[in-house]
C-alpha cells in the first residue's frame, strides 16, 4: 500500500513526538523528589510527556484507520512548482553563516556580505539583474548594518 504525503508527515511527527516524550521521561528520572513544595520539578514534564504520548498515539492511529481514498482526495496540489532543493540550500547557507560567525571564521561584516550575496544568487535562479542587485544589497547590509547596529542601536554583533 502506497502512503500519501500527509500520512508520512503525520507518522513522522507522531513518532518524533513519542521519542521526544521518551527523552523527557528518561531525563526527569534523575530529578530528586520535591522537598519544599508538593509539585517539584519533575511532575509537570512527566505529565506533559504522558500527554504527548497519548496525543501522538491518537494522531498516528487516526491516520492508520482513516479512509485512504478520502485522504487521497483531500490532497491539495499547489498551482506552482515547489522548491525543496532551493530551500535546503538556503537553510544550509544559514547554518554555515551562523557556524562561521559562531566559530569566529568570519566577522559579521564580511560574513553577512558573503551570505546575503550567495543566498541572493541561489534565489535569483540565473537572473543576472537580480544577482547584481544582490551584490549591492549584500555590501549595504554587511557594511552598513555593521555600522548601524554597532554605532546607532548599540547592539553587539557576533
Interacting residues with other proteins between 41 and 100 (CB under 8 A): 41-42, 44-45, 48, 51-52, 55-56, 58-59, 62, 78, 80-84, 86-87, 90-91, 93-95, 97-98
Name the minimum Å distance from CB 42 to other proteins: 7
Residues 6-25 that bind other proteins (CB under 8 A): 6, 9-10, 13, 17, 20, 23-24
Exposed/middle/buried for residue 14 (C-beta within 10 Å: 0-12, 13-18, 19+): buried
Residues 105-124 that bind other proteins (CB under 8 A): 112, 115-116, 119-120, 123-124
Binding-residue total with other proteins (CB under 8 A): 71
Name the minimum Å distance from CB 2 to other proteins: 18
Q: Do 60 and 14 meet the contact criterion of CB atoms below 8 Å apart?
A: yes
Burial 86-109 (b: 16+ CB within 10 A, else e): eeeeeeebeebbeebbeeeebebb
Name the minimum Å distance from CB 155 to other proteins: 4
Residue positions counted in the chain? 158
**Using CB under 8 A as the criterion, what x/- string covers residues 132-151 for binding other proteins?**
-xx--xx--x---x---x--
Name the minimum Å distance from CB 54 to other proteins: 9
Burial 35-66 (b: 16+ CB within 10 A, else e): eeeeeeebeeebeebeebbeebeeebeebeee
Q: For 74, which DSSP code?
A: T
Q: Do 25 and 17 meet the contact criterion of CB atoms below 8 Å apart?
A: no
Name the minimum Å distance from CB 8 to other proteins: 9
Amino acid at each position: 500500500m502506497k502512503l500519501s504525503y500527509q500520512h508520512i508527515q503525520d507518522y513522522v511527527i507522531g513518532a518524533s513526538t513519542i521519542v521526544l516524550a521518551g527523552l523527557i521521561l528518561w531525563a526527569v528520572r534523575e530529578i530528586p523528589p520535591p522537598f519544599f513544595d508538593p509539585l517539584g520539578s519533575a511532575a509537570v514534564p512527566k505529565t506533559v510527556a504522558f500527554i504527548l504520548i497519548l496525543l501522538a498515539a491518537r494522531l498516528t492511529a487516526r491516520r492508520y484507520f482513516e479512509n485512504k481514498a478520502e485522504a487521497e482526495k483531500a490532497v491539495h496540489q499547489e498551482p506552482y512548482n515547489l522548491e525543496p532543493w532551493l530551500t535546503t540550500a538556503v537553510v544550509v547557507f544559514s547554518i554555515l553563516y551562523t557556524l562561521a560567525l559562531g566559530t569566529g571564521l568570519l566577522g559579521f561584516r564580511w560574513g553577512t556580505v558573503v551570505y546575503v550575496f550567495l543566498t541572493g544568487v541561489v534565489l535569483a535562479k540565473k537572473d543576472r539583474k537580480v544577482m547584481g542587485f544582490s551584490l549591492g544589497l549584500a555590501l549595504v547590509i554587511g557594511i552598513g548594518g555593521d555600522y548601524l547596529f554597532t554605532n546607532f542601536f548599540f547592539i553587539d554583533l557576533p
